[in-house]
Amino acid sequence: MREQAIRDPLTGLYSRRYLDDILPPELQRCAMSGEPLTIAMLDLDHFKRFNDGYGHEAGDSVLRAVGQALRKAMRGSDIACRYGGEELTVVLPGATLGRARRRLAEVQGVLTSLHLHHRGQALPAVTASIGLAAAQPGETASALLGRADAALYRAKAQGRDCIVAADRPRSTLGQSPASMRVSAQAAN
């Protein structure tokens, strides 16, 4: 029962409910240890074409294949979740923005190299737009997800199939990483 509650049955990824449960304590753990944490929001580009052009079964087939590819491409500590529809979220504990960008660029390569077929018919290539946000001291889970989502929308506006990093929240602009760590430790 627990597995059914935390896993998305179609993709095999963790569910959004699981993400909502684990992200706040994961943020707190990383803040206390000084370990970086980056969130990635992925949206499968032009996903509607799979459902409209080939049927919903084809769309489901694409989601299953993407879930499997994402599970294989992630480190054991990464947490890949189906956020909703064709939108996915990956929590990357211990990953700086630069490392996360490199890892997600590899994921993009894996996705575009998928050769999917449905009922004997080749499906179009799968691409993904990605928004990244590095957690800032004292930032809530919803604020972090919101920044990653805003970066995702910028990626889509820039032509899709690209990775865009979120801006830092205004409260941390101009602070050095060391002063942000001190602020986070003082808050705890």
For 1-25, write each residue's pLDDT tens digit.
666 679 999 999 999 999 999 999 9
As a whole number of angstroms, the distance between CA 183 and CA 176 comes to 11
* Per-residue pLDDT at 4: 67
Question: Tell me, what DSSP letter sits at residue 171?
Answer: G
Beta-strand ranges (E) seen in the chain are 37-44, 79-84, 87-93, 117-118, 121-122, 128-134, 163-165
As a whole number of angstroms, the distance between CA 117 and CA 152 comes to 28
Indicate if the pLDDT at residue 63 is higher than 70.
yes
Active site residues: 86
As a whole number of angstroms, the distance between CA 14 and CA 25 comes to 16
Among the listed residues 168, 170, 169, 172, the one whose alpha carbon sits nearest the alpha carbon of residue 183: 172
Mean model confidence pLDDT for the chain: 89
Give the global pTM. 0.87
As a whole number of angstroms, the distance between CA 51 and CA 165 comes to 29
Which secondary structure element, helix H or strand E, spans residue 108, and what is its range? helix 97-112
Indicate if the pLDDT at residue 184 is higher than 70.
no
For 114-171, write each residue's pLDDT tens digit.
999 999 999 999 999 999 999 999 999 999 999 999 999 999 999 999 999 998 886 5
Q: What is the largest CA-CA distance in the chain?
A: 60
Question: Tell me, what DSSP letter sits at residue 165?
Answer: E
